[in-house]
Amino acid sequence: MVEKFGEQVSAFSEPYGMLTFEAPKELNLKVLNFLYDDDELKFRFLTDLQAVHYPDNKGRELAVVYHLHNLVDNVRIRFKVFSDINTPDVYTATGLFSGANWMERETYDFFGVNFVGHPNMKRILNVDEMDYFPMRKEFPLEDQTRIDKDDEMFGRG
């Protein structure tokens, strides 16, 4: 891995016993392809794909996390790419994993990560009229359109 990508893959750690590392977002498909094709690694199953919003991490607020599984040897790894929140463009993994289609739509729905090349980049769970990305930390969890509930009564005045 390090032989092929050199210093570009970094931050290797093992939180909760799962190998985790990150790469520049431009390389995400190359890394995924390498992990998929390599005869020893064989990470050919995408368990999950989602995003995390770190508002204090300037310039790399959005993390897109891939959970990969080697079904032959039963080994799992976690792979992250970070992106600026103003240009949340990440290459889509749908060419490699068909299952990434809905996961990327969900990630777009909640975090606004724009997956470049995705065949059907639109909201999947929330209403189509929604004009923000609710899981980003700048948006309060409560519905902002309600008029009947008085904040004073709920202790958040």
Told to check if 137 binds other proteins by CB under 8 A, we report no
CA-to-CA dists, residue 119 to 89, 95, 103, 133, angstroms: 15, 10, 13, 20
Name the residue nearer to other proteins (CB basis): 116 or 127: 127
- Contact indicator for 8, 23 with CB cutoff of 8 Å: yes
- For residues 4 and 149, which CB has a smaller minimum distance to other proteins in the complex? 149
Shortest distance, position 120 Cβ to other proteins, whole Å: 18
- Figure out which of the listed residues 143, 152, 155, 157 binds other proteins, where binding follows CB under 8 A: 143
If residue 47 lies in a helix (H) or strand (E), which one and from where to where? strand 45-53
Nearest to 96 by CA among 23, 141, 33: 33
131 binds other proteins (CB under 8 A): no
Cβ of residue 157: shortest distance to other proteins, in angstroms?
15
**How far is Cα 75 from Cα 3, in angstroms, rounded to an integer?**
21
> Which residue's CB is nearer to other proteins, number 71 or number 125?
125
Structure tokens at 29: 């498909």
CB closer to other proteins, 112 vs 117 = 112
Positions that interact with other proteins (CB under 8 A): 125-127, 130, 134, 139, 141-146, 148-149, 154
